């Protein structure tokens, strides 16, 4: 089978700015090579068994050389793999996408280009700057601030005389030089300049000045790469057109859920939310034929009962196999759910029972361990554990004690040491009590519904 390489534009950072086809390609990929500017939450779209290669960082923190990346792309594709080369913004706006495509083409590798939203346009909008405007700029120019050592020089005479908006990428190390060149080639000293760092992301920062003072402002506000340098009159609109939301700049962790309701509520208020992984109940193949031998059935939890029904149906049987047997529920709540599902229980644990007559239906391990145990499902994390830096988050939300446990079990030792800088938002008293024992900086209890929780989060950060 022939492999394929997709040069995929990841967009400027915010994970929802990925294209629909981009999301699908990530899901289909066998291997993803990504670099430093990529938000790790995009990797949540990949399949569980996909190989994820960080080419922005090697084990000793060296960047993987471009020639090595090219070689890896070709080799993976020749092995028949579906390869995604995930690149910041648009793959063909700087960042060497064109060179990668040439190598693939020369080597006869099947490849495609999937565009992304470029930071060079969308990054300005995120800071309230329209790149063109009838009153201020009728063109725009995207310019690299970084050159090949022996390569072409910029035509400053031409650049400085453009009426349109100038956008410099990879220019932070050259900022004062860029301003100097523009001034010495005739650009007005008062020309507005904006520097926008980490545009569209929770850590977005901007400063606004002019050609003479922007360098000092950047130092004063500690703004560094990656950033866009925007020169031109459209910059004047930045304050007027910046859209402010109550949770701007707040970075939260929420439990993974296919329905995403909490994610949506929080991000609509301006927060950036990323998912932590939840345990998922995955059915296991179980031989249940022995069940006939037992006169009592203990059902540990609702999930194992659901799985049991599935198993019966798949084998051309139904609940009549339980006829005449004593049914015991693992607890009150299980009994209630079983009733809703059409099964009345005879007893609720704890009860005194002879172990020879009993079979227990359950998950990962038996809850009671009396009699024979039939394992019907196992627990697996629903997402791979993403390479998040916990220090980059302001808070984490726990709707249940199970979600708290799942979160804690997905952390490595290094991540655990950062819990003390994280606020925990719990949706109920018992979860709150459990979280208080885990070393968070603060545990804030919320009413157990999503709307009230989001309100509480808003209040909490408005206070800060």
User: Structure tokens of 239?
Assistant: 């304050």
Over the window 68 to 87, marking each residue x when it contacts ligand SAH by CB under 6 A and - when it does not, the resulting string is -------------------x
Span 214-253, contacts to ligand SAH by CB under 6 A: 225-228
Taking the complex as a whole, the smallest distance from the CB of residue 205 to ligand SAH amounts, in Å, to 10
136 belongs to the binding site for ligand SAH (CB under 6 A): no
Instruction: Kindly compute the dihedral angle of the four CA atoms of residues 187, 230, 170, 252, in this order, to the nearest 10 degrees.
Output: 160
119 belongs to the binding site for ligand SAH (CB under 6 A): yes
Shorter beta-carbon distance to ligand SAH: residue 96 or 325: 96
User: Structure tokens of 29?
Assistant: 């990929």
Shorter beta-carbon distance to ligand SAH: residue 32 or 170: 170
170 is catalytic: yes
Taking the complex as a whole, the smallest distance from the CB of residue 81 to ligand SAH amounts, in Å, to 24
For residue 220, count CB atoms less than 10 angstroms from its CB and return exposed for 0-12, middle for 13-18, buried for 19 or more.
exposed
Taking the complex as a whole, the smallest distance from the CB of residue 162 to ligand SAH amounts, in Å, to 19
Phi-psi region of 232 (alpha: psi -120 to 50; beta: other; left: phi over 0): left
Contact 427, 398 (CB under 8 A): yes
CA distances to 55, 101, 168 from 92, rounded to whole Å, are: 18, 9, 15
Q: Which of 81, 82, 87, 170 is catalytic?
A: 170
C-alpha span between 104 and 214 (Å, rounded): 41
Span 147-206, contacts to ligand SAH by CB under 6 A: 169-170, 196-201
339 is catalytic: no
Chain position whose Cβ is nearest to ligand SAH: 89
Select the residue interacting with ligand SAH from 4, 7, 12, 361 (CB under 6 A).
12
57 is catalytic: yes
The position carrying tokens 């090949």 is 148
Shorter beta-carbon distance to ligand SAH: residue 194 or 273: 194
Q: Which stretch binds ligand SAH (CB under 6 A): 91-99, 213-221, 354-362, 413-421?
A: 91-99
Taking the complex as a whole, the smallest distance from the CB of residue 278 to ligand SAH amounts, in Å, to 29
Q: Which of 2, 27, 57, 365 is catalytic?
A: 57
Report how many residues bind ligand SAH under the rule CB under 6 A. 26
Taking the complex as a whole, the smallest distance from the CB of residue 116 to ligand SAH amounts, in Å, to 7
Select the residue interacting with ligand SAH from 3, 22, 89, 362 (CB under 6 A).
89
Taking the complex as a whole, the smallest distance from the CB of residue 290 to ligand SAH amounts, in Å, to 59
Q: Which stretch binds ligand SAH (CB under 6 A): 59-67, 113-121, 131-139, 155-163?
A: 113-121
Pairing of strands 377-381, 395-398: unpaired
User: Structure tokens of 110?
Assistant: 């099947």
Over the window 278 to 317, marking each residue x when it contacts ligand SAH by CB under 6 A and - when it does not, the resulting string is ----------------------------------------
Shorter beta-carbon distance to ligand SAH: residue 97 or 428: 97
Pairing of strands 377-381, 347-348: unpaired
Shorter beta-carbon distance to ligand SAH: residue 204 or 277: 204
Q: Which of 30, 35, 274, 301 is catalytic?
A: 35
Write out the catalytic residue numbers.
35, 57, 170
Which residues here bind ligand SAH, judged by CB under 6 A? 12-13, 37, 87-90, 93-95, 118-120, 123, 169-170, 196-201, 225-228
């Amino acid at each position: 089978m022939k492999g394929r390489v997709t040069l995929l534009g990841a967009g400027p950072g915010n994970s929802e700015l990925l294209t629909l086809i981009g999301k699908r390609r990530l899901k289909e990929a066998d291997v993803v090579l990504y670099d430093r500017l990529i938000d790790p939450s995009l990797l949540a779209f990949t399949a569980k068994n996909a190989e994820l290669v960080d080419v922005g960082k090697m084990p000793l923190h060296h960047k993987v050389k471009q020639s090595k990346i090219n070689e890896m792309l070709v080799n993976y594709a020749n092995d028949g793999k579906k390869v995604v080369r995930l690149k910041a913004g648009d793959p063909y706006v700087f960042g060497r996408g064109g060179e990668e495509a040439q190598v693939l083409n020369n080597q006869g590798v099947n490849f495609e280009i999937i565009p992304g939203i470029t930071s060079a346009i969308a990054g300005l909008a995120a800071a309230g700057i329209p790149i063109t405007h009838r009153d201020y700029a009728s063109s725009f120019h995207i310019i690299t601030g970084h050159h090949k050592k022996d390569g072409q020089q910029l035509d400053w005479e031409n650049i400085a005389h453009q009426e349109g908006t100038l956008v410099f990428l990879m220019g932070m190390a050259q900022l004062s030089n860029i301003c100097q060149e523009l001034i010495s080639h005739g650009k007005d000293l008062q020309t507005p300049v904006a520097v926008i760092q980490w545009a569209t992301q929770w850590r977005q920062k901007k400063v606004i000045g002019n050609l003479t003072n922007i360098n000092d402002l950047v130092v004063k506000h500690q703004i560094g790469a990656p950033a866009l340098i925007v020169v031109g009159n459209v910059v004047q609109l930045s304050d007027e057109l910046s859209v402010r939301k109550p949770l701007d700049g707040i970075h939260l962790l929420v439990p993974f859920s296919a329905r995403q309701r909490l994610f949506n509520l929080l991000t609509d208020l301006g927060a950036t939310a990323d998912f932590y992984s939840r345990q998922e109940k995955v059915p296991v193949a179980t031989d249940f034929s022995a069940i006939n031998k037992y006169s009592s059935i203990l059902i540990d939890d609702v999930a194992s009962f659901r799985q049991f029904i599935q198993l019966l149906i798949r084998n051309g049987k139904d609940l009549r196999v339980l006829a005449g047997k004593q049914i015991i529920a693992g607890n009150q709540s299980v009994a209630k759910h079983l009733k809703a599902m059409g099964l009345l229980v005879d007893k609720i644990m704890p009860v005194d029972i002879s172990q020879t007559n009993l079979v227990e239906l359950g998950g990962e391990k038996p809850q009671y361990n009396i009699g024979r145990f039939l394992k019907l499902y196992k627990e697996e994390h629903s997402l791979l554990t993403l390479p998040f830096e916990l220090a980059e988050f302001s808070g984490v939300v726990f709707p249940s004690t199970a979600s708290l446990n799942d979160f804690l079990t997905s952390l490595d030792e290094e991540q655990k040491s950062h819990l003390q800088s994280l606020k925990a938002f719990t949706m109920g008293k018992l979860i709150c009590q459990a979280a208080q024992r885990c070393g968070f900086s603060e545990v804030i209890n919320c009413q157990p519904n999503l709307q009230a929780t989001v309100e509480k989060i808003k209040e909490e950060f408005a206070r800060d």
